Amino acid sequence: MTIAIRRALPVLVALYMALTLAGCATTAATMPPEVPAMHSVKELDDEVVAGSDTDPWIRTNKNLYVFNYNLDKYLLLPVVNTYEYILPTFAQTGVSNFFNNIAEIRTLYNSILQAKGKKALVTTSRFLTNSILGIGGLFDPATHFDLKRQNEDFGQTLGVWGVGTGPYFVMPALGPGTVRSASGFVVDTAIHSGIKTALDLPDSISEEHGAEIQTGVTVLKTIDNRHQQPFRYLDNGYPFEYEMVRYFYRQTREMEVRK
């Protein structure tokens, strides 16, 4: 998402100018000179904006956006920074490769459901290559063989099937989404849980250490997810970040559906 925003700076500037001309900047004048409005989270609470067809829950969404900002600033990023400081870079890469390899399963079944045969073939080749030659996915030799990583989820599958995006929806902790993408996330999570149950640990291991192992893996995956995401709240230098994130998220998701 961040990459899309940075690559689309001209459009971003145009959007900023349009919003400014429309009189959307209502709090900047009251901000102290040493605290630019672009770095104010409070303005998201104070701004009174009517809802729209694409964002009818804008007040709730902005409150959740502020919640996610605080969660990120005071919990997730400190943990991620500590993780990156303690763990060597090659180990961080190995953890990311491992979880990305598991995510190939999600891409595979969604590629099949979308009748995208080439993506399904590439994803299968990547998974087998990295699982075998990459020692369980810790390494990524598939990329060196020009097998580029694909990305499909059930939200995109619903889009291919003709399901509309629905209203914009900021998910607690997870960030921007729509009703369609949130529904897809629920389905993908359920399928992942089903696969994990089917491939559960042996009973002897599960009884003694299963809960601890599962908790550790979940925590590590959460840390790695944030580690791989370069986006930082209020770090792009624009005062209307919420609107920009919403716009580019929706555009990016639609482009992913049409690929």
Q: How many Å from the N-terminal Cα to the C-terminal Cα in the chain?
A: 16
Q: Kindly state the percentage of the chain with pLDDT values over 90.
A: 63
| Structure confidence by residue, pLDDT tens digits, 163-219 | 999 999 999 999 999 999 999 999 999 998 888 776 665 555 555 566 777 888 889
The pLDDT value recorded for residue 208 is 59
In eight-state DSSP terms, residue 178 is B
CA atoms of 253 and 103, how far apart (whole Å): 18
Examine the pLDDT at 13 and tell me if it is beyond 70: no
Weakest mean pLDDT among 16-30, 100-114, 127-141, 144-158: 16-30
- Between 37 and 185, name the one with better pLDDT: 185
Query: And the tokens for 255?
Result: 């482009």
Max CA-CA distance within the chain? 66
Mean pLDDT of 134-153: 95
Q: Three-state DSSP class for 115? A: coil
Average pLDDT, the chain: 81
The pLDDT value recorded for residue 206 is 53
Interior CA angle at 237 toward 235 and 243, to 5°?
90
Q: Where are the alpha helices (DSSP H) in the chain?
A: 2-7, 9-21, 43-46, 58-71, 77-86, 89-113, 117-132, 141-144, 154-160, 179-198, 203-205, 211-228, 241-258
Mean pLDDT of 58-72: 95
Domain edges within the chain: 2-20+55-258
